[in-house]
Amino acid sequence: MKNRTGRGGPAAGRTVGDPAGPTIGPTAGERARNGRPWEPGRTAPLLEVEDLSVVFDTARGPVPAVRDVSFRLEPGEIFGLVGESGSGKSTVLSAIMRLLPSVAVTDATTLRFRDTDLLRLDAAGLRSVRGTGIGLVPQRPMTSLSPVTPLRKQLRWFLGDRDPAEVTELLDQVGLRAVAERLDGYPFEFSGGQLQRLLIMLAALARRPALLLADEPTTTLDATVQAQVLRLLLDLRDRLGIGIVFVSHDLGVIAQICDRAGVMYAGRLVESAPVGALFDAPRHPYTRALLRALPSRYTRGERIKVIEGSAAGANRIPGCAFAPRCPRADAVCGEQVPALRTVAGSLVRCHHAEEDAA
């Protein structure tokens, strides 16, 4: 039976980038071979999401933003969520954090962090899980901090009255030792990369959560700074064993940092697989189309194959939401929502997945 929050309950966009982007270190497969302690299936899950659905009750009618999304994360694992703008990635993170507005109705068979049923938490339970159990790294550092308050004061809001040496040590761990001297400055006096490191420090180090939710944390950064921030997240995962759900519209970033990833389309996870399989043997027509649209796959002057059509309104049509844009679509696709099935180790939501894999 599904659990629900929302009205009356206890709590109530972009295109895809380029995997040839800045290289930040070994790939997920290389890290696995280098003997990292984490191995899939060996430990109890850190996060279990089963049949998660979120509907926004708006004046223009219900918006089914997330539909039957399931995935699990183990300690020390990085799971990526990738998809076009509006596909529901951020809503999944907000549902896990229980940060959705009261117009959102959340349903799930399971939404569990370690042994805690997140859907049943009261306000006090939520306060204790947020920050200490689950940390959130937001998308835009500049808008997540107060522009009119010196950083030192804002750090005190998050960290309390900590020993200055301890604050310097925390800053040091995210490569911000130099910033310790300038904490009386305002956010605009720091670069986007410095502020993002600061927010990662607050989310991941200040209270040592076991799970980090990162919502496009490198979107606003240039390629070099983006690589530094990604390397920092990998380093924190390797040192502290933090599990990370990493949201991005950029397949290149997903390829660099994630162990496994799920591709979202119109609120549904249409494919979920280890990153190597996702890139080498994509099983869903949408994943294949995303990969075909990557600029790195083309030589100069060659015409990039864009995905024709638009995802607008796709979460309201019957059958497979991708059918109107899919070269494989037939009558069944227009009528029936495909079930999630396992094809050669990948989870795929496509009526034709088995035939295409044969």
Q: Which residues bind ligand ATP (CB under 6 A)?
A: 13-14, 56, 58, 63, 65, 83, 85-91, 101, 103, 249
What's the CA gap between 130 and 71, in Å, rounded? 20
Q: Of 312 and 358, which has the nearer Cβ to ligand ATP?
A: 312
**Which of 83, 63, 46, 60 is CA-nearest to residue 240?**
46
What's the CA gap between 185 and 233, in Å, rounded? 25
Q: Of 81 and 119, which has the nearer Cβ to ligand ATP?
A: 81
- Least CB distance from residue 279 to ligand ATP, whole Å? 20
- Least CB distance from residue 196 to ligand ATP, whole Å? 16
Phi and psi angles of residue 91, each rounded to the nearest 5 degrees, phi first: -65, -35
Q: Of 23 and 102, which has the nearer Cβ to ligand ATP?
A: 102
Q: Of 65 and 244, which has the nearer Cβ to ligand ATP?
A: 65
- Least CB distance from residue 302 to ligand ATP, whole Å? 27
Q: Of 87 and 154, which has the nearer Cβ to ligand ATP?
A: 87
Q: Of 85 and 336, which has the nearer Cβ to ligand ATP?
A: 85
Would you state the structure tokens that stand for residue 326, as one six-digit string?
Answer: 């899919």
Question: Who's near 249: CB < 8 A, 6+ residues apart?
Answer: 13, 14, 15, 16, 17, 82, 83, 84, 85, 89, 216, 219
- Least CB distance from residue 125 to ligand ATP, whole Å? 23
- Least CB distance from residue 280 to ligand ATP, whole Å? 25
- Least CB distance from residue 263 to ligand ATP, whole Å? 11
What's the CA gap between 57 and 63, in Å, rounded? 6
- Least CB distance from residue 304 to ligand ATP, whole Å? 21
Q: Of 56 and 113, which has the nearer Cβ to ligand ATP?
A: 56
- Least CB distance from residue 90 to ligand ATP, whole Å? 3
Phi and psi angles of residue 61, each rounded to the nearest 5 degrees, phi first: 110, 175
Query: Which three-class secondary structure string do you get for 217-276?
Result: CCCCCCHHHHHHHHHHHHHHHHHHCCEEEEEECCHHHHHHHCCEEEEEECCEEEEEEEHH
What's the CA gap between 42 and 65, in Å, rounded? 33
Q: Of 59 and 124, which has the nearer Cβ to ligand ATP?
A: 59
